[in-house]
Structure 1
């Protein structure tokens, strides 16, 4: 790394630079005051009067005090220039004046060290060496002045001035190098401090947004740091405030034991534990622990040992594993469904030909059962293969728009006309017929799937099923299908939109998954909520599936580029 210049020091280390500047200003005031006191005391003792010397001392003191008061907030630029005249320039002028006016044996040469140190510490190397060169020339000039008025050998005086100047050059260079090094070290320390602060902020942000729980525990079982997920996994009726003692609640004892074992063995630990809260179901956790440092390392670095605990919800881990298994089964099922379609078609055709020659009612019933189950197998195979078809359509479908209320009304009428007695609902189209980005056939598939699902669990009241469109003041347009069915189990709700997941043995579990895929293709969202609606019977709770659309101002256009999947 190249040496850091004093200009960089001044620009990047403002606070230390200002402190040094103020220190030199205060030192100048003290030197000026000491000169005035000593001159006054010396003249009083010797009973001599040297008003010029006293005047110089007073003027130097006034100049030093004024600069200390007026210039304490704005240190000069470290580069060579006239900004140094009120400080270094005044110092040199005052010392030269005192040396010239001095009638006694007092030597003011050591005072030249003050401006030289100021230039070396606060200025550039050029300023430091320039000031030292000026002082050396003044010393040589003083030696010549003394020699011009006396007879004798002048060599000792010139040699003394040269040696003094050489010493000043050495001191000036070394002091400047030392100041530069200190400034560089200070700059690196500040950079390290900023980097550490940024790293701390990033680490805190990452920990706060981790879905897995994180606890940082010390050797006294005190939880120093905990992210929201970690506090949530600890359970209980209320979340504790940091810091808190992990051993304060009996359900957390398995975590306390694991943390103490980590400190004792100084090795990472892994375990599955159950937190048993009174009146609640057990919370299964997969816990991993790490130690920040060993006992010996902590003693050498004088730091504290901490145990970092990562908490994973076993239910979520099992759900992810189950999803991966279901996805693999889905791929295999699609391949199997493709292979069984041809023999299934042969079975259906052979059964139809056989049924034409049957006359016994019992035989006809058996043939009808074969036909029904073959149709069921065909539907399941088609639903499994629908995933690949939908993915193909999603990737090739162009962007299109449609009038929401008009399209929902048409889809509802077509669906309701298939069974007017059973398919009853309250339809409230209140969106104002905005244009939304969605394909008509894709919206038909989504809405029909939601209506078919709701019809399985809907009550017998006329308002048990509700289809609603609305536009919020923010401009968000939505379509909602609400039914007064029973609440869903949490285990079912968590996996509603996963492929091949269904709470019914006769369902393939693909309907809601396809709905989600179609919504994502068009920038829309689909979600489930348990909502309470006001009906003729009063406040009734029910299951609501809501599709939030991305609104557009483009004119509606038809999108018929792809084949329609028959619902």
Structure 2
């Protein structure tokens, strides 16, 4: 007896139970019809009111159990709960065999309760039911022996053989039922595992950065994760399933899928998706077949799985890796040139003291300027390692945003009041953010220095603003009215060693991004328009969005708006 039999409410057991109830009902109807037919054709010999009453009572009992007990079978163990089914069947068959006046034999109907016990009950219940039926058969052989002169040994032997056959059938049916239940349990466990695996695969695919398409031989896309839908292009009909042939721009993917099916081999290719009015989308595509005719599972439907990689992102990652390697090499070189560079600066200073000719002094001054520039570049290159060390060792800290921004602005603008002018709008006087004060100073100074290079001469050419959005997001923004950036420059703004100017090391914005990420903040660039005294003016805005774990502080004594 398997443990699964302890759970009779499972669907297969319920179906078997209802099948037996229906079978009992059909037998009850058949017995009643036979009694009525016997009365119609042979009233004197075949009709007995007691037998008819037994058949009617059996029909009523089977109907009631079919209605009341159809929801779940009884507990499979032995007990009185089997009396309304197995007990009633044995009692009715015994009564019919005993009370019927004719020669009709009702003992084959004992097979129904035996089968019910073997399929739905335990082995003990099955063998116990069979033993009870066998005893009744032997009792019937003894009873008929007293009323007839036939051979007693033959009747007992017949009953014993019938009982033995019932035992064999009961045991075999129970074993078959137990095996089927075991196989069903294995199939159910496999189904649950497959369901969990499918859910895991779906979650993984849905959150992959690379696009995944599942295409059949009719160019129908069965599955497409969000990354794939984004790579295929905006504005297309992405309701699954959809056909790749619906869009002319997807034809390279259709051709690659056809080649995969025809050659039955994985394919790799770089393709360009061309949509009218849009820039070409370069993709690196890899394809695989789920099965081929040579596979054992060749009867399964073949589908092509396509992995889509954005070539621009791949090139960006490669470029970042190259830049990182270049940065490590540059840092090593910068470290090595500091000592000889210091010697050159000192020698030039000593030489300049003895020079009298204006032309020679001008040359010495040029040497000094370029040596200072080279030293500054070397320091910026080495600054990357220092920043990484600071990031990894910086403790968590909080600061009053408005007060910190006002202090940094005051220090920065005081160095050159004639040029470093602008508007400061502080609107988060009651907000404290998680950021290291020195790191915030460094981020803001880098952004201000960057804006100073491109801003105009007007009073409102530079704006520093802090604010909190209705959703609770606190931001710091540095806006300047410089010219718009080229798209090729904008894509690489925060990469190390990238700069649109030959005199810049390209490390300022990269350091800002690293410091922001250390404190759970983010930095981004937008081309925005502001209302100024000159009207609407377009400009470049760098926005730092702080982590949303702010708390109020005591009211500050700063003015909300400062004009410098």
Are 1:353 and 2:371 counterparts? no
1:218, distance to aligned residue in structure 2 (A)? 2.6
Conserved in 1, the CA contact under 8 Å of 2:398 and 2:436? Answer: yes
* Aligned match for 1:189, one of 187, 190, 208: 187
Are 1:448 and 2:453 counterparts? no
Partner of 2:265: 267
- Within 5 A, what are the aligned runs for 1:252-401? 252-297=250-295, 301-401=298-398
1:359, distance to aligned residue in structure 2 (A)? 0.9
* Aligned match for 1:69, one of 67, 70, 74: 67
* Aligned match for 2:400, one of 403, 406, 409: 403
- Within 5 A, what are the aligned runs for 1:87-166? 87-150=85-148, 153-166=151-164
* Aligned match for 1:471, one of 468, 473, 476: 468
Q: TM-score, normalised by structure 1?
A: 0.91
What SS does the corresponding residue of 2:275 show, helix, strand or coil? coil
Partner of 1:36: 32
Once the two structures are overlaid, the 10-residue window that deviates more, 376-385 or 455-464, is 455-464
* Corresponding pairs, count: 551
Are 1:45 and 2:41 counterparts? yes
CA-to-aligned-CA distance 1:330-380 (integer Å, 9 cap, x gap) = 000111111111111111111111111111111111111111111111111
1:533, distance to aligned residue in structure 2 (A)? 3.1
Q: How many angstroms apart in 2 are the aligned matches of 1:273 and 1:472?
A: 42
Conserved in 1, the CA contact under 8 Å of 2:8 and 2:74? Answer: no
What SS does the corresponding residue of 1:339 show, helix, strand or coil? helix
1:183, distance to aligned residue in structure 2 (A)? 2.2
Once the two structures are overlaid, the 10-residue window that deviates more, 71-80 or 369-378, is 71-80
Q: How many angstroms apart in 2 are the aligned matches of 1:348 and 1:8?
A: 92
What SS does the corresponding residue of 2:8 show, helix, strand or coil? helix
CA-to-aligned-CA distance 1:161-215 (integer Å, 9 cap, x gap) = 2111111111111111222222222333333333333333333333333222223
Q: How many angstroms apart in 1 are the aligned matches of 2:498 and 2:271?
A: 28
Conserved in 1, the CA contact under 8 Å of 2:244 and 2:250? Answer: yes
Conserved in 2, the CA contact under 8 Å of 1:221 and 1:245? Answer: yes
Partner of 1:59: 57
Conserved in 2, the CA contact under 8 Å of 1:401 and 1:439? Answer: yes
1:430, distance to aligned residue in structure 2 (A)? 0.8
Partner of 2:558: none
Partner of 1:234: 232
Conserved in 1, the CA contact under 8 Å of 2:284 and 2:309? Answer: yes
What SS does the corresponding residue of 2:309 show, helix, strand or coil? strand
Change over 3 Å in CA distance of 1:54–1:60 after alignment to 2: same
Conserved in 2, the CA contact under 8 Å of 1:6 and 1:124? Answer: no
1:396, distance to aligned residue in structure 2 (A)? 2.4
What SS does the corresponding residue of 1:90 show, helix, strand or coil? helix
Q: How many angstroms apart in 2 are the aligned matches of 1:526 and 1:264?
A: 49
Q: How many angstroms apart in 1 are the aligned matches of 2:456 and 2:153?
A: 121
CA-to-aligned-CA distance 1:403-453 (integer Å, 9 cap, x gap) = 111111111111111111221222111112322222211111111111111
- Within 5 A, what are the aligned runs for 1:481-560? 481-550=478-547, 551-553=549-551
Change over 3 Å in CA distance of 1:233–1:437 after alignment to 2: closer
1:295, distance to aligned residue in structure 2 (A)? 3.5
Conserved in 1, the CA contact under 8 Å of 2:266 and 2:287? Answer: yes
Are 1:435 and 2:432 counterparts? yes
* Aligned match for 1:203, one of 197, 201, 204: 201
CA RMSD of superposed structures (Å): 2.4
1:159, distance to aligned residue in structure 2 (A)? 1.6
Conserved in 2, the CA contact under 8 Å of 1:467 and 1:481? Answer: yes
What SS does the corresponding residue of 2:105 show, helix, strand or coil? coil
Conserved in 2, the CA contact under 8 Å of 1:401 and 1:555? Answer: no
Change over 3 Å in CA distance of 1:263–1:78 after alignment to 2: same
Q: How many angstroms apart in 2 are the aligned matches of 1:380 and 1:239?
A: 52
Change over 3 Å in CA distance of 1:253–1:398 after alignment to 2: closer
CA-to-aligned-CA distance 1:86-134 (integer Å, 9 cap, x gap) = 1111111111221221222111111111111111111222221221122
Partner of 2:19: 23
What SS does the corresponding residue of 1:10 show, helix, strand or coil? coil
Conserved in 1, the CA contact under 8 Å of 2:292 and 2:298? Answer: no
| Long gaps (5+) in structure 1 | 557-567
Change over 3 Å in CA distance of 1:23–1:55 after alignment to 2: same
